Amino acid sequence: MTTFDFGDGPVAAHPHSNGGGWVADTATVAATAYIGPDARVCGNAEVYGDARVFDKAWVFDNARVFDNAEVYGNAWVFGDARVCDKARVCGKARVCGKARVCGKARVCGNAWVYGDAEVYGDARVFDYAVVCGKALVYDNAEVCDKALVYDKARVCGNAWVCGNAEVYGDALVCGNALVCGKALVKGREMTNEQRQQRITRDRIE
C-alpha cells in the first residue's frame, strides 16, 4: 500500500495520473481533473470535471472543486465549500464552511470566504477581505483591502467595498457605489442612489 503524510501521519494515497499531485485514497479525483505535483487533495474531497488544482494548493475535508474551476497558489478549499464553473481561488485565499464560489468569480490574496457566503458572477474578493455569514457578492462587485461583508448583506452591480468598511445586516450595496474608509453600512441602507457615492463616515465604536 502506498502512503503519504498530509500532515497528520501517513495515510493511504496515490499520485494522480494527471499531474502527479498526491491524492488520499479517501478522496475522489476524476481522471479529467488536473492535480499539480505540489498540490494536495485529501479527506473526502472531490475534484472532477476539468477542474485544476496546482501550485501548492490544497483541497480537503468535504470540499468540491469541479467544472472548469481552478485552485492554485497557496490557496485552501475545505469544509463543505464548493468552487465551480470558471471560478478561481488563488494566492493564500481560504474558502471554507459551506461557502460557494462560482461563475467567473475570483477569490485571491489573503481573502477568506466562509459560512454560507456566496461569491459569483464576475465578482472579486481579494487582499485581506472577508465575506461570511450568508452574504452575497456578485455581478462585477469587488470587496478588497480589509473590508468585511457579513450577515445577509449583498454587494452587487459594480459596487466596491474597500478600506476597513463593514457591510452587514440586510444591507444592499449596488450600482456604482463605493463604500470605503471606516464606513459602516447596516440594515437595508441603499447606497446606489447617486453614482459613485462615497461613504466615509467614521466608525462609531
Tens digit of each residue's pLDDT (9 = 90 or more) over 66-112: 999 999 999 999 999 999 999 999 999 999 999 999 999 999 999 99
163-200 pLDDT, tens digit per residue, is 999 999 999 999 999 999 888 898 754 444 433 333 33
CB < 8 Å & 24+ apart, contacts of 50-56:
51/83, 53/21, 54/19, 54/21
Query: How far is Cα 155 from Cα 170, in angstroms, rounded to an integer?
Result: 11
pLDDT for the residue 201: 35
Of 45 and 189, the one with more pLDDT:
45
Radius of gyration, alpha carbons of the chain: 18
Query: How far is Cα 149 from Cα 5, in angstroms, rounded to an integer?
Result: 36
| pTM for the full predicted model | 0.91
Do the Cβ atoms of 32 and 50 come closer than 8 Å?
Answer: yes
Do the Cβ atoms of 159 and 125 come closer than 8 Å?
Answer: no
190 CA to centre of own chain: 25
pLDDT for the residue 188: 59
4-32 pLDDT, tens digit per residue, is 999 999 999 999 999 999 999 999 999 99
110-140 pLDDT, tens digit per residue, is 999 999 999 999 999 999 999 999 999 999 9
Of 190 and 150, the one with more pLDDT:
150
202 CA to centre of own chain: 28
